[in-house]
Amino acid sequence: MPYNPAHDYADASQWRGTTILSVRKNGKVVIIGDGQVSAGNTVMKGNARKVRRIAGGHVIAGFAGATADAFALLERLESKLEQHPTQLARACVELAKDWRTDKYLRQLQAMLIVADKDETYVLTGNGDVVEPQDGIIAIGSGGNYAYSAALAISEYEKDAETLARKSMAIADKICVFTNSNLTVEILES
């Protein structure tokens, strides 16, 4: 996809081949992602790992969008966390500022969900650093399906991991760009 400065990074329709969901509930935060990578209507890979631990395992991150771009952003975020240890919000804001103002970074086409034991944020190329209102947030082509499912069953499911897995199973049934090969990372407070 060629770079377009007017491109809306928050537009979920552009992110193909991934679903990343974060659920924070009862002292646990879970980030879960599927493994599908698509090019148009073709599945290129079914077991990609789009959820990882960074910052010595104290932060978990999931990404949607261009893989190389996401890795570049994760490296930058780790650098910001080294400058501001235990300050995830500040590191995210600093990364978002760089992402918006740096000529090279502006061209990176990815979105991130990052969480530590206390906070969760979505970062976009628009400079957004968004904390979920209900402890649930999702990105990617199946993100809206997983998010809706998680909101709907959150009242009934008390365990964050079970809630995340059930929500991803629903997204997998609806979104052709989502599969059931999941990577799950969990932090407990």
C-alpha 46/C-alpha 49 separation (Å) is 9
What values do phi and psi take at 93, rounded to 5? -65, -45
* Catalytic pick among 18, 19, 120, 178: 18
Rounded-to-integer distance, Cα 2 and Cα 45, Å? 22
Query: CA-CA distance, 13 to 20, in Å (whole number)?
Result: 14
Report d(CA 163, CA 103) in Å as an integer: 40
CA–CA distance, 169 with 163 (Å, rounded to integer): 10
18 is catalytic: yes
Count of C-beta atoms within a 10 Å radius of residue 171: 27
Tokens 């500022």 belong to residue: 97
Q: Which of 114-134 are b and which e, b meaning 16 or more Cβ less than 10 Å from the residue's Cβ?
A: bbbbebbbbbbbebbbeebee
Would you please indicate which residues are annotated as catalytic (active-site) residues?
18
